């Protein structure tokens, strides 16, 4: 089982692209990552870590979901009209850093939901007819895939904002 922690976090600035995507076409979502890094470099910006996938709305894993593919930055920076800027809100977060890379994420999310329920933690979500809307649910990839091609060795951090 994955270890979970509660962390108080400051807001984090990011640049990125919001999309509606499906897991079966995740390559289309991932295609934005190098574009964001290239635009950031061209604008003279410096990334502060690996890409962050911010989940905003999800119904089931087989339905399209609203996400923002982003890169953390030290402060807001405009990198072009095709890109957005924003912040991941400050607050208390339920956090996991599972082993097993992206292939372990489905199980980790299920465990986090169960663990949060047992601990009496209130996730910052709103359930609507079109799915669950998150105030902040993120997956940040901490390993550079060019340095480590084995997906099972990639470090990933999962974080849910709490109320």
Q: Which ranges of the chain does DSSP label H, i.e. alpha helix? A: 26-30, 32-42, 105-119
Give me the architecture of the 4-161 domain, per CATH: Alpha-Beta Barrel (3.20)
Q: Indicate the pLDDT class of residue 1, thresholds 50, 70 and 90.
A: low
Distances (CA, A) of 15 to 1, 28, 32, 76, 100: 33, 18, 11, 7, 27
Condensed to tens digits (0 to 9), the pLDDT of residues 129-140 reads: 999 999 999 999
- C-alpha to C-alpha distance for 131 and 133, rounded to whole angstroms: 6
Helix (H, G, I), strand (E, B) or coil at 99: coil
- C-alpha to C-alpha distance for 96 and 60, rounded to whole angstroms: 21
Average pLDDT, the chain: 93
pTM: 0.93
Whether residue 4 is predicted with pLDDT greater than 90 in this model: the reply is yes
- C-alpha to C-alpha distance for 71 and 40, rounded to whole angstroms: 9
Non-local (6+) Cβ contacts of 137 within 8 A are: 54, 55, 125, 159, 160, 161
Cβ density class 105-124: b for 16+ within 10 Å, e for less = beebbebbeebbeeeebebb
Condensed to tens digits (0 to 9), the pLDDT of residues 32-77 reads: 999 999 999 999 999 999 999 999 999 877 788 999 999 999 999 9
DSSP summary character for residue 120 = T
Q: 1-5, 34-38, 94-98: which has the minimum mean pLDDT?
A: 1-5
- C-alpha to C-alpha distance for 65 and 160, rounded to whole angstroms: 16
- C-alpha to C-alpha distance for 115 and 113, rounded to whole angstroms: 6
Whether residue 125 is predicted with pLDDT greater than 70 in this model: the reply is yes
């Amino acid at each position: 089982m994955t270890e979970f922690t509660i962390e108080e976090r400051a807001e984090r600035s990011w640049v990125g692209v919001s999309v509606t995507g499906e897991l079966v076409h995740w390559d289309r979502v991932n295609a934005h990552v190098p574009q964001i890094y290239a635009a950031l470099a061209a604008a003279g910006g410096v990334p502060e870590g690996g890409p962050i996938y911010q989940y905003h709305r999800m119904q089931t894993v087989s339905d399209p979901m609203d996400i923002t593919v982003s890169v953390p930055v030290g402060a807001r920076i405009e990198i072009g009209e095709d890109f957005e800027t924003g912040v991941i809100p400050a607050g208390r977060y339920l956090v996991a850093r599972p082993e097993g890379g992206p292939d372990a994420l489905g199980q980790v999310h299920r465990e986090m939901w169960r663990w949060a329920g047992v601990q009496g933690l209130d996730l910052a979500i709103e359930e609507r007819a079109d799915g669950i809307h998150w105030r902040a649910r993120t997956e940040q990839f901490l390993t550079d895939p060019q340095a480590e091609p084995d997906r099972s060795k990639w470090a990933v951090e999962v974080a849910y904002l709490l109320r």
